Chain A
Amino acid sequence: MSRPLLIVGGGPAGMSAALAAAEHGVRSTVVDEGLDLGGQIYRKPTRPDGGAPPHRRGEQLRARVAALADRIEVRRSAAAWGVFEGRRVALSQDGASELLEPQALVLAPGALEFVPPFPGATLPGVMTPGAGQILVKTMGISPGARVVVAGSGPFLLAVACQLVAAGVHVAAVLEASPRAPWLALPLSGFRTPGLLLEGMKYLARLRLAGVPVRHSRMVIAAHGDGALREIEHAPVDADWNPDRARTVREKADALLVGFGFVPRVQLAQMAGCRLEWRPEVGGWTPVRDEHLATTVDGVWTAGDGAGVAGALVAESEGRLAGLAAAHRLGALDAARFAALRAPLLARLRRLAPIRRALDAISLPRPGLANLVDDATIVCRCEDVAWRDVRDAVRAGCTTYRSLKVATRVGMGACQGCSCWPGVARLVAAATKGSPESAGPASPRPPVRPVTLGELAESRIAP
């Protein structure tokens, strides 16, 4: 029997939603793909040499969820692979699928790292900072003997620090933005010291370890024969256009590259939620009302999956969505809901501009669209090269739908999640338009691998 509330994602937003609802007696199920709750940000190290102690806030949230185990069912290593007809959610765990039919659904799936296509990006040894972090934190494996961390945004520094703490040799951090983000913050930002202190701490640690953090530099290509051997990087201008005359080649056997995050909106799209284009929080995001309700009845979204804004915002959003769901399920009357949400809304209002200022500096700039050559693979699932897409654009295909038909771009198992944000930027550059006019990818179930046999034998919860 499905519990009344289903929460997809066990990061700060998902855990907070479950806690807020449970405090009002609502029974919920939290599903998460990880080995334990925490999401990307609060992922619990599973090895002592994992590079960083568990995040204190993450430990607190996990402990509170555990204390409410009678109300909050946690399903770990479980993937929500599709949403059907509103809020029927297909779930895969241990190779078996089932369909859950909650009365309320909170989607808190987090964000994906954004990696634009560039020559050599598909070489083994090139990975996202998050993937490198997982190697170190949960498997105790070093991504390489000489690691370069590159891209943009504060996450690069956090990962570089974790690598250093785990004994990995980090040769350099290459940040495309011109300076440390917090130096450009409005004064109001300093009233939320948590955000800033952490960043400064990272920078100090890297300096101590002798890891150079080079600003206004970007990786423009990766080289190797079957595996990464060398990278090329160059100084970039304010729009991140590389000055190729000053390209430097550097040895590296691991490149951790990411340019911020893109909200994971695929499940919301399958539920039928309308999206809007908000580049300042990562691109396409679900349209939401003040209480985080989407355009589909009984479906809320919270956290980075609804617009990248970090763990603090995610936690408040999660609580708000959990309260809204509890109110909808009749566990919380209108007056009490209004009283409880007011401080959350105030906090969200306070956090939003600071977070935006932080992100504005690391948001991808147009120069990122200048890295591809004809043969660069822009969609790895379907092995589509830039020349194929460029030719189709010239033939008049300028949207996801038409390019998919003409080139198969975005048609693979990732449902366009990993390639389309980058390709949309390339298309926008080629048509002198905005990625918005290329439209969002239209993902289909399953967003996680499921076999025909598993689907055929799946259960439908009564």
Chain B
Amino acid sequence: MTPRASDVVVIGGGAIGSCVAWLLARRGASVTLLDASTPGRATSASAGGLWPLGESLGLGCGVIFHATKGSNGAPAQPGPEPLPRRFMEFLCASNDRFPRLAQELLATTGLDVESEVGTGLLYLLYDEEQQRHAQRILDWLGAERSRVEAWTAEQVRARDPLVTRDLLGAIHFPGDNQVNPMLLAEALKRGALAHGARFVAEARVHALEMARGRVDAVVSDAGRFACGAVVNAAGAWSGQIARLAGVEIPIFPVRGQIVCTETLKPGTLRSNLSTRDCYLLQKSHGEVIVGSTTEHRGFDASVRYENARALAAGAVRAVPALRSATVKRVWAGLRPGTPDELPILGPDGRVANLFHATGGFRTGIVAAPLTGEMVAAAVLGEAPPLPLEPFLAARFAERPAEVVRGA
């Protein structure tokens, strides 16, 4: 067998791993991208909402996450709190990169990742409690307040006539758009290949050969790959990869279910919508995607009927006309969750040549471009475009393990 040495082995061919591979290959590094095509991977399950503000303020999928927590017997909370401001800045900066990234990928690979600018996100306000909660978040925004608009029910109707009339209003995030996540990953992968990277499918990693505190080689079902550095982009499974190197990172799978309709007339939904029960967005192919649950069920990526039913009910409440739309598919995926809902990026710190690009949780797709840049910079020993410190694995070092687990 020919030697399979490369500068960098990237483990995980989802959006994040493919982006790191692409950026490194473009810089001339010899890159091997290993993919295991595991059922339940988050990139394939994702709806592709690019909601840097909606998600960091907790008004995207976070509302449902919060509602789920509240329904488990815990006392009612006023609503999800925003994530740290520096994370919001990180997501916004990453989101801003999409238009150019889409152009570059189209030119390099011929694939259109369906990056749709201008669709915007509407968080629907059904009652006064939600309205008060939204107002608190708008107040918290301060200087960033100008990036968000409070809309009346009439404004919502003018923009999206099929949205329910039983509404107090909505928060409009004009900069929150969408992309096709599977095409994004595929285009990044093909872009990496165009720049000389090697892609190996069905390469489930089962060992890391260690020597002097470094990873010497990655051993997979598809062979052994000697390497100068390893990027752990294995999503919900990245905790297992870290463990192969003898280190722990607090990553756990958070299951999300999706209900997808048949192809509907373009413009059925003009905005992305988020509500207390679900979010909805129409993809450029015409399907409406209804997501998503946040469940802690280990690595079980199966669909729970009750949850699919609840999403359908939420969708019909938000857009009554969808009642007669045929369901095309329901499925589930596993997001890589972390205790503080922030990603784990950059050098591991304990294993010298191990880098993490994981923990994307609800925002892995929107975070992919900047995650790629920050991790690629770390691997190349260059200064990252934004500080890495808030996202280093080392931030969990002082916490006792049970706090980390119980998130």
Contact = CB atoms under 8 A, between A and B. Distances in A.
21 contacts: A85-B304, A85-B305, A99-B305, A395-B190, A396-B193, A399-B201, A401-B37, A405-B44, A405-B183, A411-B329, A412-B328, A415-B329, A444-B331, A446-B329, A449-B326, A450-B326, A452-B312, A452-B323, A453-B324, A455-B312, A457-B313
A444 B301 CA distance: 12
A55 B25 CA distance: 66
B183 A455 contact: no
A242 B154 CA distance: 65
Interface of A: 82, 84-85, 88, 90, 99, 272, 395-396, 399, 401-402, 405-406, 408, 411-413, 415, 442, 444-446, 449-453, 455-458, 460
A446 B306 contact: no
Interface in B304-338: 304-306, 308-309, 312-313, 315-316, 322-331
Given A396-B199, A399-B201, A405-B186, A456 B305 contact: no
Give the one of B199, B290, B313 with max A CB within 10 A.
B313
- 4 closest A-B pairs (Cβ-Cβ)? A453-B323, A456-B313, A455-B312, A456-B312
Contacts of B327: 445-446, 449-452, 455
Contacts of A452: 259, 261, 290, 312, 315-316, 322-327
B377 interface: no
B17 to A, nearest CB: 15
Given A402-B37, A415-B329, A445-B329, A460 B305 contact: yes
B269 to A, nearest CB: 13
Given A401-B37, A406-B186, A442-B39, A456 B304 contact: no
Contact of A455 (B37, B262, B285, B308): B308
A374 to B, nearest CB: 17
B158 to A, nearest CB: 24
Contact of A445 (B201, B316, B330): B330
A415 B326 CA distance: 14
Given A396-B193, A446-B329, 10 more contacts: A88-B305, A402-B37, A405-B183, A449-B327, A451-B325, A451-B326, A452-B323, A452-B326, A455-B309, A460-B309
Interface residues of B, number: 37
A87 to B, nearest CB: 12
Contacts of B315: 452, 456
A451 B190 contact: no
A33 B303 CA distance: 24
A272 B325 contact: no
A402 B290 CA distance: 23
A244 to B, nearest CB: 33
Contacts of A413: 262, 326, 328
B188 interface: no
Given A401-B37, A456-B323, A84 B331 contact: no
Contacts of A405: 44, 182-183, 185-186
Nearest to B35: A402
Interface in B321-364: 322-331
B302 interface: yes
B39 A460 contact: no
Nearest to A271: B302
A318 to B, nearest CB: 27
A272 to B, nearest CB: 7
Give the one of B309, B313, B322, B331 with max A CB within 10 A.
B309
Contacts of A458: 309
Interface in B143-198: 182-183, 185-186, 190, 193
Contacts of A82: 303, 305, 330
Contact of A451 (B193, B199, B308, B323): B323
B280 to A, nearest CB: 10
A460 B306 contact: yes
Contacts of B324: 451-453
B261 to A, nearest CB: 6
Contacts of A84: 302-305
Contacts of A444: 303, 329-331
Interface in B38-58: 39, 44
A-side binding surface: helix, strand, loop or mixed?
loop
Contacts of A455: 259, 308-309, 312, 327
Interface in B214-261: 259, 261
Contacts of A402: 37, 201
Nearest to B305: A84
Nearest to B326: A449
Contacts of B262: 413
B319 to A, nearest CB: 9
Contacts of A450: 326-327
A272 B40 CA distance: 14
Nearest to B262: A413
Contacts of A451: 323-327
A97 to B, nearest CB: 9
A191 B198 CA distance: 58
Given A405-B183, A452-B312, A90 B305 contact: yes
Contacts of A415: 329
Contacts of B305: 82, 84-85, 88, 90, 99, 460
Nearest to B288: A452
A440 B190 CA distance: 24
Contacts of B313: 456-457
Nearest to A84: B305
A406 B190 CA distance: 11
Contacts of A457: 313
A335 to B, nearest CB: 37
Contacts of B329: 411, 415, 444-446
Given A402-B37, A442-B39, A451-B324, A272 B201 contact: no
A189 to B, nearest CB: 41
A395 B39 CA distance: 22
A38 to B, nearest CB: 28
Nearest to B41: A401
Contacts of A411: 329
B330 A456 contact: no
A369 B303 CA distance: 36
Nearest to A97: B309
Contacts of A449: 326-327
A455 B311 CA distance: 9
Nearest to A85: B302
B311 to A, nearest CB: 9
A82 B316 CA distance: 21
A114 B394 CA distance: 57
A423 B39 CA distance: 21
Interface string B259-288: 101100000000000000000000001000
Nearest to A406: B186
Nearest to B303: A84
A382 to B, nearest CB: 9
A401 to B, nearest CB: 6
Give the one of A85, A449, A455 with max B CB within 10 A.
A455
